[in-house]
A and B are shown apart, each in its own frame.
Chain A
Amino acid sequence: MDRQKILEVERIRKDFPILGQTMNGRPLVYLDNAATTQKPVSVIRRMHDFYETEYATVHRAVYTLSQNATRECDLVREKCRKYLNAKNNSEIIFVRGATEAMNLVAFGYGRKFLKAGDEIIVSNLEHHANIVPWQQLCLEKNLTLRVIPINDQGELLMDEYKKLLNCKTKVVAVTHVSNALGTINPVREITRLAHDAGAVVLIDGAQAVPHLKVDLQEIDCDFYCFSGHKVYGPTGVGVLYGKLRHLEAMDPYQFGGEMIEMVTYEKTTFTRPPLKFEAGTPPIAPIVGLGPALDYVGRLGIDRIEAYEHELLIAATRRLSEVPGLKIIGQAREKGAIISFTIGDIHPHDIGTILDQEGIAIRTGHHCAQPVMRRFNIPATARASFSFYNTQDEIDRLVKGLEKVQEIFR
């Protein structure tokens, strides 16, 4: 079985030039992969080459250079479709990232189909990008936002979720994997229950797509999104998947070039999805760069990535638990390789600065998920988030760094 084949991490690391750098005099240990991931040479080169020899606008022009650029973007659209197991290329919309995708659904779908008194359900684990657009829509249209609570391990309380669902529920918007705690949510079950109640489902896949197998036919959600830069691709590009019938029924979210059929001063008719939702000149080179990023992950094999990162999670959890005073926030049974923690009353910010001096990059703060912090009554956590290019040695370095933190704050 594929899963048994072990990732050759030392070789993989050579594909990521930045990992060979030193930071503050020490070999860089990059553990902020939940924020953004580093890029393999194949991605960097592809964008470089594209700019050097292939760059032109897309869709409009008759000349060959532009037609090639259009074709390159279409090929990446097809790659994204395959990667997510969507049915149709028209269901893959290029956006700037997960944030724009969720805004697009809130304002493209929600504004059109929801009316006063309707309800939207999000979870206590959401990134601000999956809270604030809904909240703003609620203010605008007099809707009610309901929140699925979590337990002390950071798992959704599914019974509470069932109680929240009712005939007024129109949208359920939940993250696949929590960026703050690592919890993997049962998105298939969440979707099934929402559909039974007659609601549409948006899944925020920003933290899932880089780390686990995503099969949209199996999940059956109505919308799904991710950001290119978290899956080893460039910034400035992401994907929103939407079931075709929704995309056809929805209103465009922005207006301008590319998304029109016919414009007069009296009236405009819009083109069909996906271009209906891609107003303006798209981020052409980032779209092109997303291709080799998905190829890279595909070559390693998402099953093997999942297995390897799970090993890292288990090892790091064990080692960090041995650090005196360290408390891991979020201990879900189903968990991605993200560890949020606090150490006694040492502020995460201080932990981050000291680790940085050791060449270790971790994230500190609320991770754009203030409601999660509030749930655990803490202002912030330190967060180490792993990728397939991280190693057991780096976990050692992290533990040693934390010992230094304790020495200073003893």
Chain B
Amino acid sequence: MIPEPQLSRLYQEVILDHNRNPRNFKEIPNPTQYSHGYNPLCGDDYHLYLVIDESGVIADAGFMGSGCAISKSSASIMTTLIKGKTVSEIAALKDNFLEFMTQAPLPASAKSAVGRMAMFEGVREFPIRVKCATLIWHALADALKDYSSGHKSTGGI
């Protein structure tokens, strides 16, 4: 049997706050990067907009759409975390977070590698909800895929 999960560890106050008042909940008209994250199973559906400046720093990030408290707060917190960071920094953060959500058992180092996203640890006790927490991060990976390939192709000319 799955160990008894704790609701209070899933719906923490900070998570609920980001669900109520999502940060960077906005469409950015001319994003340099865009992606669409959709989970057909539960209908979580988000658009992610990034503005990356010439030095490869996330100048702005926004998201729009609808979904559950876990997916929305994850998106909200993600946007606050990635702003001001470089593309390679957030790519590493994304990898760390996806590992953090899916690795079992959880190595002690994994927690410190994800910063404030560590509050999503309780979601791990609800396996069916893990994809809610990771949806926007997969969307981030998609958005960045464009960025790296875009750079490669311009670099190749």
Contact = CB atoms under 8 A, between A and B. Distances in A.
B66 interface: yes
A357 B68 contact: no
Nearest to B69: A350
Contact of B5 (A349, A357, A365): A357
A28 interface: no
Interface in A349-366: 349-350, 353-354, 357, 364-366
A366 B43 contact: yes
A196 B113 CA distance: 69
A380 B42 contact: yes
A25 B70 CA distance: 24
B41 interface: yes
B16 A408 contact: yes
Interface in A3-41: 24-25
B37 to A, nearest CB: 13
Contacts of A349: 42, 44, 67-68, 70, 129, 132
B10 interface: yes
Contact of A24 (B4, B68, B69): B4
A379 interface: yes
A365 B41 contact: yes
B67 A347 contact: yes
A380 B40 CA distance: 11
Given A349-B68, A349-B132, A409-B69, A354 B43 contact: no
Interface string A155-191: 0000000000000000000000000000000000000
A408 B42 contact: no
Contacts of B126: 353
Contacts, number: 50
The interface centre, meaning the residue of A24, A347, A379 with most chain B CB atoms within 10 A of its CB, is: A347
B66 A379 contact: yes
B106 interface: no
A353 B45 CA distance: 19
Interface in A266-292: none
The number of chain A residues touching the other chain, given as a range, is 10 to 19
Contact of B43 (A24, A346, A380, A409): A380
A373 interface: yes
Interface string B49-74: 00000000000000000111110100
A25 B42 contact: no
B10 to A, nearest CB: 7
B7 interface: yes
A347 B7 contact: no
Contacts of B132: 349
Interface string A337-352: 0000000001111100
B68 A347 contact: yes
A355 to B, nearest CB: 11
Given A24-B4, A349-B132, 16 more contacts: A347-B66, A347-B68, A349-B42, A349-B68, A350-B11, A350-B69, A350-B70, A353-B126, A353-B129, A365-B42, A365-B43, A379-B66, A379-B67, A408-B11, A409-B19, A409-B69
27 contacts: A25-B4, A346-B69, A347-B69, A347-B72, A349-B44, A349-B68, A349-B129, A350-B68, A350-B70, A353-B7, A353-B126, A353-B128, A353-B129, A354-B11, A357-B5, A357-B7, A364-B42, A365-B41, A365-B43, A373-B43, A379-B44, A380-B42, A380-B43, A408-B7, A409-B11, A409-B16, A409-B69
